[in-house]
Homo-oligomer: A and B are copies of this chain.
Amino acid sequence: MIAQEERKLGKVFYPESIAVIGASADEQAERLEGWCGRLQHFGYKGRLYPVNPRASHILGLQAYASILDVPEPVDFAIITVRASLVLGLLIECVAKGVKLVHVYSGGFADSGNDEDKRLQQDLADALKGSATRLIGPNCLGLYCPASGLSFSHEFSRVPGPVAIVSQTGSALVRFVSLACSRSIHFSKVISYGNSVDIDSPELLEYLADDPESKCIMVYIEGVKDGRRFLNALAKCTEKKPVIVLKAGFTEGGARAISSHTASLVGSQHVWQAVFKQTNAIYVETFDEALNQLVALRYLVPPVGRRVGIVGLGGGHGVVTTDLCEKEGLQVLFFTERTTQSLKKMAGLAVGRGVRNPAEMGLGTSGLYKDFANGLRLVASDENVDFLLIQLYPEGYVRHWAGGNQMEEAMDVIINTAKELPKPVVMVIGLGYEIDIMGVTLDAQKRCLQAGLPVFSTPEDAVKAVGKLMNYYDNRTNAAAP
């Protein structure tokens, strides 16, 4: 009998040695597409053992015919061969005493065939009575930049405070790349696939206590043990914010899941109750999850929901106001004092909005000289808890009165935001021309470097901020006596 303690997750994220079972003897292929190539490229510092009966060396490493031939202990094994061969190799891993096996291969329960489902059950049976743990099959496994593990050549090597637990893999590759581009970095990203052994509840329980993970994003299609998942989620949300992308609430989505991870999706009604009970932040798309992470990581929590909108006014300001209020934020008129002061501002033309939204930004002869002062006025208004500043670089980049004024606008905003008494949320629109996009991306990166949350549309911004305010409020209410 194996003690539960030995089977606990923990050190598995920091393996001292890795065997790649099914490393290719074609070195070019292995370098570009194989796990040995990927781990070398990513800078894994531990011992690496390619396992392939038809090679003596792969990418400068001694290769072995079987994991049983590896002369030293193996902490972590990645099995990347076709489904029918996996069981025998897993049995060898168990015999070798490997702590964690990642079965990359798909073609088990996910194929939908009864035979493949039985094969998956055989994998589970092979683990019985051992301390060997299994992640997968049909998954990408682990990305842990601090320990040099990665399932993509392209990921950032910079560690960060965000953990991901995900039932899907392919979407994760893009998600993690986009997140890194937006200065969101990761502690542990786990794609667990068909979860024959390690499943989402255990991962959540582990991450709840993981000091490296300050917030968690979960992509889930279905769970096997609803009660255990709920408890694990609740354990997490007690300690840190959790964003949940639950897929399959529609009939078609459930069908798609049956041919992806073959999970039981559960009813939307039950899941919504789970989100409410645990104060998990529910999102519907990967894009929304990413925006939510940006809000979570970069927005200093405002004391209330009252927004002061600054920037492009007119109909655009009205539409943004509608968006804010639909997401549970409030756009009140500024106090008379603020309105009068804004009206007196040099450069604020007659007819420009001064009551919230405040129509400021780019004047007919460039950036308003009083822009910083306008920001201070809005931020000190007693009907405002935080600022939403909207910039659309078209006017700044192509302004006929003289060149790209976006850098100047960003200097003013970043320097002023530092001294404002209230948090700032930025919207910098992307547009559809490459010169504008370049300027926007640079400006967005400057915001993140300065600690300002930034989004590409007001819709993205207010959705993320609204949900974050709900999260903070529910947490406060729960903590109250």
Binding site for B on A (CB under 8 A): 32-33, 82-83, 105-107, 110-111, 138, 153-154, 166-174, 177-178, 181-182, 219, 221, 245, 247-253, 255-257, 259-260, 284-287, 312-319, 321-326, 330-333, 349-357, 359, 364-365, 392, 394-395, 398, 400-401, 429-434, 437-438, 441, 444, 457-459
Contacts and interface: CB of A to CB of B under 8 A. Distances in A.
A168 B315 contact: yes
Contacts of A169: 314-315
Contacts of A354: 259
A260 B322 contact: no
A313 B433 contact: no
B314 A398 contact: no
Given A83-B350, A168-B315, A170-B314, A287 B459 contact: yes
B247 A171 contact: no
A315 B166 contact: yes
B319 A247 contact: yes
Given A351-B105, A430-B430, A256 B318 contact: yes
B251 A325 contact: yes
5 contacts: A171-B319, A249-B322, A256-B353, A259-B354, A284-B323
Contacts of A245: 319
A357 B256 contact: yes
A316 B168 contact: yes
Nearest to A402: B32
A221 to B, nearest CB: 6
Contact of A316 (B286, B318, B353, B364): B286
A138 B326 CA distance: 28
A88 to B, nearest CB: 17
Nearest to A153: B400
Contact of A252 (B256, B286, B330): B330
A350 B314 CA distance: 54
Q: Which one of A138, A324, A400, A433 has the highest number of Cβ atoms from chain B below 10 Å of its Cβ?
A: A400
A356 B256 CA distance: 7
Contacts of A177: 394, 431
B253 A325 contact: yes
B313 A260 contact: yes
A168 B318 contact: yes
A314 B260 contact: yes
Q: Which 6 A-B pairs have the closest CB atoms?
A: A106-B351, A168-B315, A250-B325, A252-B331, A181-B432, A171-B316
Contacts of A171: 312, 314-316, 319
Nearest to A263: B318
